[in-house]
Chain A
Amino acid sequence: MSMKVNETVDAKGLACPMPIVKTKKAIESIHAGEVLEVQATDRGSLADLQGWAKTTGHEYVGSKEKSDVLYHYVRKADPEETKAVEPFPNEENNEQLKAVQNQDDVTILDVREPAEFAFSHIPGAVSVPLGELEEKMNELDASKNIHVVCRTGNRSSMAAQMLKDKGFDKVVNVNPGMSEWDGPTESIE
């Protein structure tokens, strides 16, 4: 799979601590919520990047391997997401989404970053990252019930509000979303 990312770090051939040193530097240069791809050949980089992400609060999205190169995806922590946002009035939990997810009149709109979507999403979900929603909104069918999902319910809440403001009247925010989703998922290979 080729993944749309905001920045790439080439740490191939480098031993620890360099992959993390370079990652740390690169993540300072991107915006909150954006995704970094780290290419490394050091096998130790997998556990170390996960550990580093955990201590720094960044989201370790996932990794894949192709011809001996590890590709890691890290999403920069977004302080906005941990703030309590005004909840979108029309909200449902994961179980409620499960009950209707296969109905014909339901669109599941996943507003996470492409890398997050690629590693794991609900089968049939449509991917439109929050940052692109404004321009791609007209591609959505306003006659459907749009269930907006993200990782924890914050980005989706913002997206749901945007849609509502633009006249979509059948919008539901899913809370919490993918971080606690235990139903079937798909990934893009």
Chain B
Amino acid sequence: MGIQAIQAKTLAKKVMNQENFFILDVRNEEQFKDWKVEGKNVEIMNKPYFELLDGVESIAEEIPTDKEVIVVCAKEGSSQFVADQLAEEIGGEFFYLEGGMKTWSEHLEPVKVGDLDGGGELYQFVRIGKGCLSYAVISDGEAAIVDPVRLTDAYTSFFEEKNVQLKHAIDTHLHADHVSGGRTLAEMFDAVYWLPSADATEVTFSYQPLEGETTINVGETNIDIQALYSPGHTIGSTSLIVDNKYLLTGDILFVDSIGRPDLAGKAEDWVGDLRDTLYNRYVDLDEQLIVLPAHFSKKEELDENGRVMAPLKELYARNHGLNIEEEETFRKTVTENLPPQPNSYETIRHTNMGATFPSEEEQTEMEIGPNRCAISS
């Protein structure tokens, strides 16, 4: 009997393994509505801790006794407080999430996507609490990283474990939902930082322009990363084709939805580009390519290994955003009734341009909440 801390890493494994457990989220209702731990077999209940200051009797009957109960809050303190009360009132073991939703938002879990030519490998980093996906291509002791988030520790320990040297850090576009780790990683490892020049008109740093038809090599066996100009989410958005097998779509195309064109305030200007990319440029590609997006928005998008991926062919069959015949309907869908914009998206864009320098703590605060880069309909 008592309480025990559970780490974000362990919780992430549970979610990805689709385990069955119960979460009592004691943050306030607004925060809960905005964003929470989601998993296929997760049962979740919200009761703000400040309604439980006098005890947990009021909810005792709603807490299951036949499965693990994990209490979560914003940072940790309140979940520990409530878990304590539950242990006292009900008896048995109760868990609380170490570091709270703040840590959950920042946890990255690497999962292998597949093997590449000549012994290379492709990994997907799932930031499960936030829905961000980033990628590592490794081959012959070298690595390229695509759309990395600012939490560079997860990547550096991965590079160490795999014994690879980072050579290329690539951002497929200027991100608006999270602070990029691309430049930091490039500086740390003396690697090349790639960014589409059309997205870089206001940046304050130097970079290698990522243009269509550029080829980037990783390792001696030459894993090809081919750049494909695919504007729409941003004017510079560029997709990457890895080893002629995988299509890294950035924020243009997701498994269950498509990108939104409005995060730089240019929905009307960019909607035509988005249409052209999804209904022309991508259509010309090999339909066997496996789509690897930079985000997911629903837990159902994770497969049984915790990965987010699907063949292009399948997406053309079932992704609603790829099946809107009328151009006018498409225009309306992606410019009207958009979901709310990601938290602090303007500050995040400016940070990624090198125009503002928020502290570590401020960056955490800016990124709290869902990514909201997609239009799902």
Contact = CB atoms under 8 A, between A and B. Distances in A.
Given A17-B81, A51-B29, A44 B50 contact: no
Contact of B28 (A15, A24, A43, A47): A47
Of residues B29, B31, B76, B78, which shows the largest number of chain A Cβ atoms within 10 Å of its Cβ?
A: B78
A16 interface: yes
A55 B58 CA distance: 14
Size class of A's contact patch? 10 to 19
B77 interface: yes
A47 B74 CA distance: 12
A43 B77 contact: no
Interface in B73-91: 73-78, 81
B48 interface: yes
Contact of A47 (B30, B51, B77): B30
Nearest to A55: B51
B18 to A, nearest CB: 31
Contact of B77 (A15, A24, A51, A55): A15
- Name, among A18, A20, A51, the residue most crowded by chain B CB atoms within 10 Å (CB to CB): A51
Nearest to B50: A52
Contacts, number: 43
- Taking each of B50, B73, B78, which has the highest tally of chain A beta carbons within 10 Å of its own beta carbon? B50
A47 B73 CA distance: 13
Given A43-B365, A48-B48, A17 B31 contact: no
Given A43-B365, A44-B75, A16 B49 contact: yes
A21 interface: yes
B53 A48 contact: no
B50 A55 contact: yes
Taking chain B's interface residues, is the majority helix, strand, or loop, or is none over half, making it mixed? helix
A47 B31 CA distance: 9
Nearest to B54: A24
B77 A20 contact: no
A47 to B, nearest CB: 5
A10 B30 CA distance: 26
B28 A51 contact: yes
A21 B80 CA distance: 14
B73 A16 contact: yes
Interface in A1-46: 15-18, 20-21, 24, 43-44
B28 A16 contact: no
A17 to B, nearest CB: 4
Contacts of A21: 53
Contact of A48 (B50, B76, B81, B365): B50
B74 A16 contact: yes
B102 to A, nearest CB: 10
Contacts of A47: 28, 30-31
A77 to B, nearest CB: 15
A27 to B, nearest CB: 12
Interface string B227-264: 00000000000000000000000000000000000000
A150 B48 CA distance: 31
Interface of A: 15-18, 20-21, 24, 43-44, 47-48, 51-52, 55
28 contacts: A15-B76, A15-B77, A16-B73, A16-B74, A16-B75, A17-B49, A17-B53, A17-B78, A17-B81, A18-B77, A20-B49, A20-B53, A24-B50, A44-B74, A47-B28, A47-B30, A47-B31, A48-B28, A48-B48, A48-B49, A48-B50, A51-B28, A51-B30, A51-B50, A52-B48, A52-B51, A55-B48, A55-B51
Complex A-B, nearest 8 residue pairs according to Cβ-Cβ distance, in ascending order: A52-B50, A51-B28, A17-B78, A15-B77, A16-B78, A20-B50, A17-B81, A44-B74
Given A15-B76, A48-B50, A52-B50, 18 more contacts: A15-B77, A16-B73, A16-B78, A17-B49, A17-B50, A18-B77, A20-B50, A21-B53, A24-B53, A44-B74, A44-B75, A48-B48, A51-B48, A51-B50, A52-B48, A52-B51, A55-B50, A55-B51
